[in-house]
Structure formats: structure tokens, C-alpha cells
Amino acid sequence: MHEQGELTYTEIDHGEGNLKIAMRIRKGAEEAPTLVWFSGYGSDMLGTKAEALDEFSRDNGLTMLRFDYTGHGESDGAFRDGTISRWLADALQVIAHAAPRRIIIIGSSMGGWLALRAVQELKRKEGAPVVEGLLLLAPAPDFTSDLIEPGLTDAQCKALADDGYFEEHSIYGPEPTIYTAALLDDGRRNRVLDGIIETGCPVHIIQGKQDPDVPYKHALKLMSHLPADDVVLTLVQDGDHRLSRPEDIARMLSAVSSLVEGAAERR
């Protein structure tokens, strides 16, 4: 296990008092863009891909910023209080706290959706960092309305109406996955697949064709909403949703490296 970097915190108030957001910042060369990691739904900043990116940053003298959304990992808050809007606000708070000038966002699954929303929000903010690249791993934009809601069973709909949430068996751990009515409702307000997504930067998508959670056709749909220039889609024939095998990690790091090199060439 390599040195993970010092655990630090920033705070956010979602209306119920201050919550601490845990983050780790690895300092590197100031002239290069900062790598920012956006985890997936229920994941944290110490996962396989985030650790590999941090090691890559160390070995290449890059600055890397990773964090846990509220209700995740080492951050305060309850997971079931979370929504796309809340977790987006967490991400924007962490970026504002670290105050990098230029960033490349790497987003996994739901983190890919939040990355696309973050780009939209950062473009509106005065003095916000310039997003110089996006790497989206098995991205799940609009997953609540496009992937969850169409398949809801009568029992799940009843649980949402009666209890405000339903649980689903997870293949990724012993704990069930929770989906709340608030998450689904808020997801509709954060849709990005309704029109052209203007990122203003190169985008690289890596998607497994054997992904049981995000069908590869969802990545093709995302492609149709991105400007035609400077968007690369890599389909991994035997890739799953995690994309955490050694060959998947190598593919991710190669894509990050090309985005960093491209940013240096454009300077």
C-alpha cells in the first residue's frame, strides 16, 4: 500500500448544519492540471481505481484531489440523505477549497454524471478552474431516470411511496443498495441527456460491453449528446462495471496520460 496522502476536511451545510467532507490532496507540479477523482454511487476515495490514480500522480509529479461525498467513506452525513444535487455541491465545495487553476476530472459511474454536471456549473462560476479534460469510466448520467425508474417493480414503487426508499441486493458487497424517492426526484432535475452537453474540453469514455449496471448502449447515447470533436469512446469487449482489473487500470492510466499531455500541448 502506497502512502495515501494526508486526510483533510472542508465543510458544507446542506441545510441541517455543517458536515465535514473528507479529502486527500497530493501535491505535484503547479504547471500541470490537477487530477480530480469523482467516485461512484456508494463508493469512496480509497477504491482500486482512485488508489491507482493517486499512485500514478505520485510517480508523475502531478497534483491529485480526491474526496468522499457526504454520506460516503470518511465524510459526515447519512447516505440516504444524499441526492445528485447534494453530492454535486460537495464536489464543487472540495474544488473551491483546493482552488486549482486547471483540472482534469476522472469520474466513475455516477461520478461520470456528476463530472458532466460539475463542468456545467464551473463554466458559470467566476474564477473557477478551467476543465482541461474529462475521463468517464462506465459513466451513468441520468441513471435514476434512464436506468432505475423504467425497471421499477410494483413492490419497489410501493416501498418508495410508503417508506420513501427501496433496497436492492448488491453484487459489490454485503450491504443492500438503497435508492430513495428524493434521489429519483432530484435526478430528474439534474438530467444532462436532454440536449447537447458543451464540455469545452476533450472527453474520453471507457465502457465495458459486459457491464450489468450501465449497458454499453448508454455510453453510445451519451456520445450522441457530446459535441462531435475531441470525444473518444473505448469499448472493452469483456469489461464489467468496475473496470478495476489490471488491464482496465492500465487503460485508464493511458487515457489520463494522454489527457495530461494534450493539456500541456495546448498551453
Q: What is the pLDDT of residue 5?
A: 72
Q: What is the pLDDT of residue 2?
A: 56
Q: What is the pLDDT of residue 172?
A: 82
> What beta strand segments (E) does 127-262 contain?
130-137, 165-168, 177-180, 203-208, 231-236
Q: Is 67 helix (H, G, I), strand (E, B) or coil?
A: strand
Q: How far apart are CA 137 and CA 100, in angstroms?
A: 23
Query: What's the distance, CA 71 to chain centroid?
Result: 15
Averaged pLDDT, 52-78: 97
Give 87-123 pLDDT, tens digit per residue.
999 999 999 999 999 999 999 999 999 999 999 999 9
- The domains found in the chain, sorted by start residue, are 7-266 (3.40.50.1820)
